[in-house]
């Protein structure tokens, strides 16, 4: 099983998040080799939800930008391929929606 929760992107371990992007194949389309730029991406997202396995390992992330009143843009949804198809992505989106209930 896993647990999804809202976190502050800047507080995440950048290397751990890059690992999930690589494990999800999203790294092929994101600047993971530029760690400084990737860290700024995490810090700049004001709505970040992560999924962690029971052992605490990061298995997924939803990175969004929202104004909190009307618009929310889900920029990245990355789930480790081992966990894909099991509902992790759906849970990440559900928690994102709950965190921005007035989104469009």
The CATH number for 92's domain is: 3.40.630.30
**pTM assigned to the model:** 0.95
Q: What is the pLDDT of residue 104?
A: 64
Domain extent, residue 45, equals 2-99
55: left (phi over 0), alpha (psi -120 to 50) or beta: alpha
* Residue 74, pLDDT above cutoff 80: yes
Model confidence band, residue 102 (pLDDT cutoffs 50, 70, 90): confident
User: Does residue 44 form part of some domain?
Assistant: yes
In a domain, 104, yes or no: no
User: What is the helix (H) or strand (E) element at residue 93, kind and residue range?
Assistant: helix 88-99
Q: Is residue 24 part of a domain?
A: yes
How many C-alpha atoms does 73 have within 13 Å on its Cβ side? 5
Q: How far apart are the C-alpha atoms of 40 and 14, rounded to whole Å?
A: 10
More confident residue, 100 or 82: 82
Q: Report phi then psi at 17, rounded to 5.
A: -65, -45
12-51 confidence digits (pLDDT tens): 999 999 999 999 999 999 999 999 999 999 999 999 999 9
Residue 103: pLDDT band (50, 70, 90) is: low
Number of domains in the chain: 1
């Amino acid at each position: 099983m896993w647990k999804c929760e809202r976190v502050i992107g800047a507080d995440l371990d950048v290397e751990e998040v890059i690992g999930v992007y690589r494990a999800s194949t999203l790294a092929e389309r994101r600047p993971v080799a530029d760690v400084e730029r990737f860290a700024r991406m995490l810090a700049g997202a004001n709505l970040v939800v992560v999924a962690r396995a029971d052992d605490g390992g990061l298995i997924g992330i939803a990175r969004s930008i929202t104004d909190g009143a009307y618009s929310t843009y889900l920029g990245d949804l990355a789930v480790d391929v081992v966990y894909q198809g099991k509902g992790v992505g759906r849970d990440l989106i559900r928690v994102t929606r709950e965190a921005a209930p007035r989104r469009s």
